[in-house]
Amino acid sequence: MTTPTVPYYPSLWQDLRGTSFSQGWFDAKGIRTRYLRSGDASLPPLILLHGVGGHAEAYARNLDAHGKVFDTWSIDMIGHGWSDKPDHPYEINHYVDHILRFMDAQGWDKAHISGESLGGWVAGRLAADHPDRVDRVVLNTAGGSRSEPPVMARLKLLSTQAAKDPNWEFMTQRMHWLMKDKTDATDDLIACRQAIYAQPGFEKAMANAMVLQDLETRNRNLLLPEDYGRIKAPALVLWTSDDPTAPPAEGQRIAEMIPNSTFVVMPDCGHWPQWEDVATFDRIHLAFLQGKPVGV
């Protein structure tokens, strides 16, 4: 008997098939925080942080592998996803405060922190200013090292458009910006983000998040060489061949400023390597977080 061929439809449920995980909301000392979690409290804690305008699903494809080794929490940061969105501009100290509240409410003295884009900026600031709270830190195509007005303007335009009018065209443009291979921006992922951006009040939340794309605000939040130099935790600076925000040389420059760092470039990826090449990302990421040799 011939086994029928079943068409594969890429979706978040397909990504999570076979993964033991939970979704919920956690009170991070006054900030209602939405999470995707895999693993359990017997394992070392790991917090995964998305980029600006993003949400916990940025790591949906990584939960299975990481939940087997770590108590893995991918969260919606303050002002993002389905977490609370207080009405004030979100600067880096607000995101750091949110993560510390989350850790304190969990009862964690320390955790591994891994962030992509804005999440990497937050992770770097957290590791620099609160070295006693971070085990290992990953800066994945991280922001916060410099100001690039053309990139900032493009990101602000796409994000603001999508939040003001979350129609399919604008949402698709915003997601395509992240990926080298545009087909990695699946319809299901676009629909997920569309639902988030269609929330009442989200346009205001996006405006509050976009303040870091304004030059004056961004510059006072940047991580300076002396900040990177204060990072005591072992650090992985992970970059990609086709990141739309900065070339691999910028990742190399960041790594050279951090005393105990490893620098890796993943080929054929844009701004979401954890999504675009799951197997390679998981192998590198898990090796580093477990203190094992790292290589592409």
pLDDT tens sequence across 26-58: 999 999 999 999 999 999 999 999 999 999 999
CB-based contacts of 209: which residues, under 8 Å, 6+ apart? 52, 53, 79, 80, 90, 159
Take residue 33 and report the two structure tokens written for it.
């925080």
| Per annotation, catalytic residue among 50, 80, 98, 271 | 271
Residue type, 184: D
Q: Is 179 helix (H, G, I), strand (E, B) or coil?
A: coil
CA separation for the pair 78, 32 (Å, rounded): 9
Q: Judge whether 35 and 90 are in contact, CB under 8 Å.
A: no
The string of pLDDT tens digits covering residues 182-200 is 999 999 999 999 999 999 9
Which stretches within the chain are classed as H helix? 12-16, 63-67, 92-106, 118-129, 149-164, 168-176, 187-197, 202-209, 215-221, 225-229, 248-257, 273-276, 278-289
112 is catalytic: no
What structural domains and CATH numbers belong to the chain?
18-289 (3.40.50.1820)
Q: Rounded to the nearest 5°, which phi and psi values hold at 134?
A: -120, 125
Q: Give me the pLDDT at residue 9, please.
A: 77
- By percentage, how much of the chain surpasses pLDDT 90? 95
Q: How far apart are CA 127 and CA 112, in angstroms?
A: 10
Q: Can you tell me whether residue 23 is helix, strand or coil?
A: strand
- Edge-to-edge strand ranges of the sheet holding 71-75: 22-27, 32-38, 71-75, 45-49, 111-116, 134-140, 235-240, 261-266
- The DSSP H or E segment spanning 38 is strand 32-38
Q: Write the pLDDT tens digit of every residue in 109-167.
A: 999 999 999 999 999 999 999 999 999 999 999 999 999 999 999 999 999 999 999 99
Local structure of 197: helix, strand or coil: helix
Q: Which two tokens stand for residue 192?
A: 């997920």
Per-residue pLDDT tens digits for 76-105: 999 999 999 999 999 999 999 999 999 999
How crowded is residue 295: how many other Cβ atoms within 10 Å of its Cβ? 9
Which residues make Cβ contacts (< 8 Å) with residue 227, sequence separation at least 6?
Answer: 124, 125, 128, 129
Q: Which of 171, 159, 145, 154 is nearest to 246 (CA)?
A: 145
Q: Does the pLDDT of residue 296 top 90, yes or no?
A: no
